[in-house]
Structure 1
């Protein structure tokens, strides 16, 4: 996004062509600075002190959303919060701005924006225009990226007529609601699978059915991979081998990868081609990543941050996959390290699993197949909606 230049009666405005939703006619929409159309209420935000951190009805917001609920508030109204630091800067899939309404508290990690009364700026439109804004050229800081208030004031957004803003926001609201519905359906299907697992085998954390326990390493081989040298372009150019990283394990059933490596990378490094139905365990990773599990539905390699439990005829991959999913907190909690808490191959190999006979494990497969087929339909629909939303966001906001 370019900065504004002065000159005409609309000071600091430049124009950009945008498609009019009503009939495909191209119009030029002015680009305006946030500092000209928004009140920036940063002076009112303050970090919450321990004395005020009492559980209550008011949301306490930070850079990425609600941090807590407390018994006090400093804002009351319709606002857009924009991450100052700690946000998802550079991540095109997660928003750096979000809409809030009503009484709330905001800490000093989020800028607080409100359209000026005479700006003719719709607040929902403002939120969408900032949601995936590229702030990479505006942030400063050597060890931690920070979007300061001066940079926020210089940020520019396209400003169509108010009815057009409202129409754009309504379209994006509708798609967002459909995306949320599909995600809720997928979550319910996941919960259904977990419920059927517990019904058939019991809760693996409690083991109320009294199954004997066996370590993973006693019935399966556990390996890891490697990261081919990034400086050797031959390892990545025209790559044909899917290469899985920990962030992709969250998908659960893994059908593709973000990156591919070459056959040369397989032969020259410690990367191994893993078979279908390999169980993947995220051993490293920020946030919720460590301890998550997935199951390969393609042949793929992996980096050293993933543990790979190889399939064999001694266990059912679907049984082990959902067993580990239900014990996410237990597995994650075994992480070791001073500077960064990680799992390792020894921890994964020694993790105990309920020793359910293989023929009983296999009764779980038809249950999984039915639910996974429904889930696959929902995921495909979700992907189409997300592509549609991304395309519209690009069209409207560049």
Structure 2
């Protein structure tokens, strides 16, 4: 078996925290400013934010904060430990020029003959790093750390040849995961394509359907303002559904907070039902699309929290409504501006003009979607198994059990 040792993080990597750039320095053009929101599911995605600084500042006072190709970048503020691995990614040539910003940290290996930067990335995703950093920031439910914490981290390493072998194994498994995710993305695109084939573009409405505001066809419920001090740590209690765990077309229940099931008097209105549509009202659009999902039977019981909306159709098909809301016409209608917290209101939803094709056609669309969703369910099952295998390989790798 290979030899493993613990080394001080500063002895292996250069790291640098982004500067605190003020709002008054933001511009509409120039050099893109990095944001924690740009780190999505282990990748760097820049098309979901629009903050820049002038080229004069970027190549002047902030030139030593300009990102280089191959830099590993992580988010370091306001991140829950359990999904820290999502908030990191590598900078590629197409991302540049790019300037570091607050709450982000970049890494470079000091000697690539001693440390493979991708091996280091996997270390950051491992339980070995998470346990250390969580201990250093005791008392906080979220990760907020910086260089002073990283200086105290011990990195578990082995010889470079073994590092590369481990990276190769983990990369191959990650590649399979990426392929399954791509298959899911392709099926989502297929559903959108079928929607346009059957109903046309809701904006131009070339098929001439009747158009009416959503308020005539849906019931909408706004979530309850639960008191955080009364949240429960009991896994058997009721899950709370909110914008922080809603993504495009799925809900990450592993991140859900819970409410005591014996403390639900007067909360009947906020209990979700199967096939309900839930929509985040704060930061409603991310790189993957609108933060909207459908409640499944296995998700229940669940309660709706404030700043989240629940939609139930009255006289239109729920599946048709769900797809209609994901059309660009809804985004254009809401016209969300990048304030401190981008937000849409229930009025934005109720005044959204819907096309109203015949119910028979809506149901035909829903039947097609159901078939596609069955394919997606099979892929998701395979994806879940791959992720479990990946996590098992990660644990074995850093225990020295692979090589």
- Quote the Cα distance in structure 2 between the aligned partners of 1:114 and 1:230: 39
- Deviation of 1:310 (Å): 2.0
Q: Is the 8 A contact 1:224 1:307 kept in 2?
A: yes
Which residue of the partner structure matches residue 3 of structure 1? none
In terms of fraction of residues, the more helix-rich structure is 2
SS of the aligned residue for 1:120 comes to coil
SS of the aligned residue for 1:281 comes to strand
Residue 333 of structure 1 pairs with residue 335 of structure 2: yes
Q: Deviations over 1:162-218 (max 9, x none)?
A: 222111111110011111111111111000000000100111233222211122221
Which residue of the partner structure matches residue 250 of structure 1? 247
Structure 1 unaligned regions, length at least 5:
1-19, 21-26
How do residues 1-398 of structure 1 correspond to structure 2 at under 5 angstroms?
29-38=4-13, 40=14, 42=16, 64=39, 65=44, 67=46, 79-83=70-74, 85=76, 88=79, 90=81, 92-100=83-91, 105=97, 107-109=99-101, 110-117=104-111, 120-131=114-125, 133-134=129-130, 135-136=133-134, 147-232=145-230, 237=234, 239=236, 241-250=238-247, 252=249, 258-269=256-267, 271-285=269-283, 288=286, 292-298=291-297, 299=300, 300-312=302-314, 314-326=315-327, 327-330=329-332, 332-333=334-335, 340-397=341-398
- Quote the Cα distance in structure 2 between the aligned partners of 1:192 and 1:99: 30
- Quote the Cα distance in structure 1 between the aligned partners of 2:291 and 2:384: 22
User: Under a length normalisation based on structure 1, what TM-score does the superposition of the two structures give?
Assistant: 0.74
Between the two proteins, the alignment pairs up a number of residues equal to: 363
- Quote the Cα distance in structure 2 between the aligned partners of 1:285 and 1:152: 30
- Deviation of 1:281 (Å): 1.9
Q: Is the 8 A contact 1:61 1:105 kept in 2?
A: no
Larger Rg: 1
Q: Deviations over 1:194-246 (max 9, x none)?
A: 0000100111233222211122221222112314434346x774645443212
SS of the aligned residue for 1:309 comes to strand
Deviates more, 1:324-333 or 1:287-296: 287-296
Deviates more, 1:367-376 or 1:325-334: 325-334
Which residue of the partner structure matches residue 8 of structure 1? none
- Deviation of 1:102 (Å): 6.2
- Deviation of 1:42 (Å): 4.7
Structure-2 change in CA distance of 1:97 and 1:364 (3 Å): closer
- Quote the Cα distance in structure 2 between the aligned partners of 1:76 and 1:302: 41
- Deviation of 1:156 (Å): 1.8
Structure 2 unaligned regions, length at least 5:
none
User: Under a length normalisation based on structure 2, what TM-score does the superposition of the two structures give?
Assistant: 0.73
- Quote the Cα distance in structure 2 between the aligned partners of 1:365 and 1:177: 32
Structure-2 change in CA distance of 1:204 and 1:164 (3 Å): same
Which residue of the partner structure matches residue 23 of structure 1? none
Q: Is the 8 A contact 1:201 1:209 kept in 2?
A: yes
Larger RCO: Structure 1 or Structure 2 (Cα < 8 Å, ≥ 6 residues apart)? 2
Structure-2 change in CA distance of 1:252 and 1:287 (3 Å): closer
Q: Is the 8 A contact 2:243 2:282 kept in 1?
A: yes
